[in-house]
Structure 1
Amino acid sequence: MITLTTNNLESVVEVNVDGKITETDMEEFKEYFKLKKAADGKINLLLVIKEIEGYSMQGLIEDLKFEANHWKDVNKIAVTSDKKWLEIATKIGSYLPKIETKHFDRGQRDQALDWLNS
């Protein structure tokens, strides 16, 4: 399940993930992303991840299609989690062209927001 959280930073989309990501979750995220992008141009993503139980197949397909079309719209991605594999995946993500990525421990949401806003 994806929950979109409002924060006081106009260029930051905050996404909380806890459980399985569905096609409906991805549709809601895409609509919110497009609204934020229209207002601010490039955006930053904060992914607050508690648990990921996987994607539904359609959710995965929607995610991959969206990412392929919108990487150029993202400036930075911060990931907060207590999962070692997500820390490693974030480091691998830093090789994406023109996107900065950084992992933070789960309790470091404020530090992640500060980094995204810098």
Structure 2
Amino acid sequence: MFEILPSQDPNTVALEVHGKAREEDANKLEQYVEANFGNDEDFNVMAIFDELDGTTFKGLVEGMKFDTKRWDQFNKFAVVSEKSSIEKFTKLGDHLPGITSKHFDKNEEEKAWKWIKH
């Protein structure tokens, strides 16, 4: 489940992810992005993973169900989690054109915000 959090940066969608992503989460996120960034404004994502119940980066992406036009809008993707498996999946984001991704440990959330803002 996604929870959209208050963001420290107007160009960043902040999410807390609990358990598995669901279709209704994807719809809520799509509506949020449409309302705040339209179809052509770039944005970042700060995803804080908590209580992971089998969620992976791939599951997060599938759960978001952004079509290709959204991928063109992604700039930076920061992932904050305790799980080393999530760190490995975060590196996959570096292979998507135009997206820079980085993993931060759970206690490095402030460091993640600094990275995403610059």
TM-score scaled to structure 2, two decimals? 0.84
* Structure 1 gap ranges (5+): none
Counterpart amino acid of 2:90?
T
Paired with 2:3 and 2:64, the residues of 1 have a C-alpha distance of: 19
The alpha-carbon deviation at position 4 of structure 1 amounts to: 0.1
Q: Residue 19 of structure 2 aligns with which residue? A: 19
The alpha-carbon deviation at position 23 of structure 1 amounts to: 1.1
Q: Residue 94 of structure 2 aligns with which residue? A: 94
Deviations 1:84-110 (A, max 9, x none): 111011112211111110000012111
* Structure 2 gap ranges (5+): none
Q: Secondary structure at the match of 1:92?
A: helix
Q: Secondary structure at the match of 2:37?
A: helix
Q: Secondary structure at the match of 1:75?
A: strand
Q: Residue 53 of structure 2 aligns with which residue? A: 53
What is the identity percentage for the equivalent residue pairs of Structure 1 and Structure 2? 32
Whether the 8 Å CA contact 2:23–2:64 is kept in 1: the answer is: no
Whether the 8 Å CA contact 1:13–1:36 is kept in 2: the answer is: no
Whether the 8 Å CA contact 1:80–1:112 is kept in 2: the answer is: yes
Is the counterpart of residue 32 in structure 1 residue 28 in structure 2? no
User: CA-atom RMSD, angstroms?
Assistant: 2.5
Q: Residue 71 of structure 1 aligns with which residue? A: 71
TM-score scaled to structure 1, two decimals? 0.84
Give 1 or 2: higher strand fraction.
1
Paired with 1:94 and 1:101, the residues of 2 have a C-alpha distance of: 6
